[in-house]
Structure 1
Amino acid sequence: MTEPKVANLPTTDLSHIFCGNQTEIWLRFKNSAVNDLAWVIFSPDLVEKELGNSVSAGKTLWGLPDSQQAVIHWLTKLDENISLRGLPDRYTLTIKQSPQRLGVYFEQLIAFALQSLPAVKTNRPALLAQNIQINEDGITAGEFDFLLQDQQNQLLHVEAAVKFFLLPQKASLPYDPMHWLGPNAKDKLGLKIDHLLAKQLTLFQRSKAARKKALQLNGNPTSCEAQSQYLVKGMFFIHWSALIAQPAIANAECLMGHWIHEKELKNLIEANKTSQYFTVSLLKKTEWLTGNGVNNPLTAFDLPSPSAIPYMLELTHQPEHSFADDVHTEKKTSRLMVVNNYWPEINSPSRMI
């Protein structure tokens, strides 16, 4: 892994944190759901393409990179379709599928792509079943996120997850996955990967009931085995004044953002409120994948209440030499995760003994 290249900077300087730009495939389209779909397909994996005996499912699911132009053509046609029939909508998830459940929306987008992508041009597998719970001897053995059948009638089991992990400022081993925590500090990247490898991806091998169910769903089985793969997307966050760091199992091209304590945020916004080149927008949970593309600047006076923490902000930078209505302008964006003032402590200091 290369050495970090970002130095510590004054605590109100935003200029160093802009790394993304509007040319990414998942920011090209008019419809937000199409952008989200493109993000699911084209955004870089969060972790390495090989973990244990399993590999990332990206190439298997979408045929990338060979099918890239075919997939982009499909997304473009979808974006031009006013009805967008069947495409999951980030803003209309049912009550049962709470808008706070970003993972539900993520899986809906995967399922839509697996059912709608032109199979001939992309060589994608067929979706047999989704979210199938496996019970064995009265005990839940696990669940298949996705059970698929490839062009050769082989079974494929895919576990999918969208995750966001932060590196605490005082972490002594930034390359250790156990030091990367979720907004809920009980969640750890190391524990997630251990569970993925030991439990989720071994379900077919561990459970006779799982094998029986899978073969029942496979109309033309040529093998009693199934290949298990993973699709893990998301973003890693470092403190916004910290040096760049990644966990050892990170995909070198993974998406990265910054995090900040709530008490630091007001000072940051106030220090940049007069700048015509920076805007800060609040994102709803289901906007975390590709943002909202809305220029609705946030001020220190309309920050969410502490009960809304953690929340995500989208920061946009317009180069000083450009004009706001210049379609050729390359705007740059970044993500800022806001956590409570005592994170990564699990409990408020007032309740700690």
Structure 2
Amino acid sequence: MREDAGPTASFEAPSLARPSARLDALSDAAVRDIAWLLFSPDLLRAQPPDGALATPFESPDEAAATMAWLEAQDADPADLHRHIAAARVTRLGRYAECLLAYFLKHGPAARLIAANVALRRAGVTLGECDFLVETQTGRRLHWELAVKCYLHAGDGRGELADYVGPNLQDRFDLKLAHLLDHQLRLSAREEFASLGHRGPWDAQMFVKGWLFYRNGCAERDPVEIDPAHARGWWATRSDWPAFSAGHADAWMLLPRLEWLALRMRDTRDASDFVSPQTLAQQLARQTGPTMVAAFVEHPEGQWIERSRGFIVPDDWPERAQAFARQQTRKS
């Protein structure tokens, strides 16, 4: 069942969890991305009995200390920038891992024990535990991090299978099944025990991202999804000119490593903004779905992202529905 979210609700991106005003004031892009990982809503609800959610903070004091730490990083992000440059990441998931690892090494909350812990049997890799962390109270946690962008391509069924990756190579229900049936179980395997990481370890999923809805219209969310999740929109190339009319002061293509937190641009750094007409010309050179962001100019001289979404080829919706249904029959 589709519901019209209204012209404002369908466009406005959600603010970060409190303290939102201080988080929104962060100016460095990488620091804002760490803040987004830590404070933004989860994509999923807890999935008992095995799908517990990761919580970065054990107490309000830890959250407050983290906010102060983020502000200090924002004032002097040079060390963080060196950390990112040394990692040479090109994939969004690896970029998110790089940021979370930096926080766990230098932040005031849980501390990093190990990352990307590979499990092998007879020379065959069974999988990797993303993060092993220890909290301030001594709890030992195994976190599996995932940052996903899925487009709702269903027809009102209200199923997790309706959320597909833009390139139709991934789907939310299959990702959740892999988390529950494989990734979260790695730290309980016999092969893990032989690595010497003293436990027991509580496995938790750390799933962040954005879900996108056609023309910004709200859908009936599956029970697995957190209602507070970050939302965007998607539109076909034919529909986009009318959909975007009067929506923003400027637009830009959003590079993959800028898919986390809401973007900000200083007036002096606005050279990558384009008009809707120029953006349409750029999209004509794209072969698949393309993420774009809409910006509005604030009186303080900053450009703030108002919304984000995917512009997809005109035949994409039909192919996306076929992909979801075909995979459902196979699963």
Task: Provide TM-score, normalisation by structure 1.
Answer: 0.77
Measured after TM superposition, the shift of residue 51 of structure 1 is: 4.2
Question: Would the aligned equivalents of 2:291 and 2:309 in 1 still touch at CA under 8 Å?
Answer: yes
User: What is the one-letter code of the residue matched to 1:282?
Assistant: L
Instruction: Specify which of 63, 66, 72 is matched with residue 77 of structure 1.
Output: 72
1:341 corresponding residue in structure 2? 314
1:154-186 CA-partner distances (Å, limit 9, x unpaired)? 532110000011111x52412x11121111223
1:350 corresponding residue in structure 2? none
| CA separation of 1:330 and 1:6: change in aligned 2, threshold 3 A | farther
1:149 corresponding residue in structure 2? 134
User: What is the one-letter code of the residue matched to 1:287?
Assistant: E
1:325 corresponding residue in structure 2? 299
2:326 corresponding residue in structure 1? none
Task: Provide TM-score, normalisation by structure 2.
Answer: 0.81
3-state SS of paired residue (2:143): strand
User: What is the one-letter code of the residue matched to 1:52?
Assistant: P
Name the CA distance, whole Å, in 2 between partners of 1:136 and 1:17. 49
3-state SS of paired residue (1:75): helix
User: What is the one-letter code of the residue matched to 1:6?
Assistant: D
3-state SS of paired residue (1:186): coil
2:247 aligned with 1:249: no
Unaligned runs of 5+ in 1: 319-323, 348-353
Give percent identity, aligned residues only: 26
Instruction: Specify which of 103, 123, 147 is matched with residue 162 of structure 1.
Output: 147
Name the CA distance, whole Å, in 2 between partners of 1:331 and 1:83. 23
Question: Would the aligned equivalents of 2:147 and 2:208 in 1 still touch at CA under 8 Å?
Answer: yes
1:223-277 CA-partner distances (Å, limit 9, x unpaired)? x5221111000011110153433222111211111111223224445x43xx7x5
2:274 aligned with 1:297: yes
**Stretch deviating more after TM superposition (244-253 or 330-339):** 330-339
| CA separation of 1:93 and 1:151: change in aligned 2, threshold 3 A | closer
Question: Would the aligned equivalents of 1:283 and 1:292 in 2 still touch at CA under 8 Å?
Answer: no
Measured after TM superposition, the shift of residue 281 of structure 1 is: 2.3
Question: Would the aligned equivalents of 2:28 and 2:77 in 1 still touch at CA under 8 Å?
Answer: no
- Larger helix share, 1 or 2: 2
Measured after TM superposition, the shift of residue 27 of structure 1 is: 3.1
3-state SS of paired residue (1:201): helix
Q: Which has the larger radius of gyration?
A: 1
3-state SS of paired residue (2:161): helix
Measured after TM superposition, the shift of residue 111 of structure 1 is: 0.2
2:28 aligned with 1:49: no
Measured after TM superposition, the shift of residue 16 of structure 1 is: 5.1
List aligned pairs for 1:183-332, cutoff 5 A: 183-205=166-188, 207-213=189-195, 216=196, 218=197, 221=198, 224-240=199-215, 242-269=217-244, 271-272=245-246, 278-294=249-265, 295=270, 296-302=273-279, 303-307=282-286, 309-317=288-296, 324-326=298-300
Name the CA distance, whole Å, in 1 between partners of 2:320 and 2:4. 29
Name the CA distance, whole Å, in 1 between partners of 2:24 and 2:82. 17
3-state SS of paired residue (1:109): helix
Aligned residues: 309
Name the CA distance, whole Å, in 1 between partners of 2:126 and 2:82. 31
Question: Would the aligned equivalents of 1:185 and 1:343 in 2 still touch at CA under 8 Å?
Answer: no
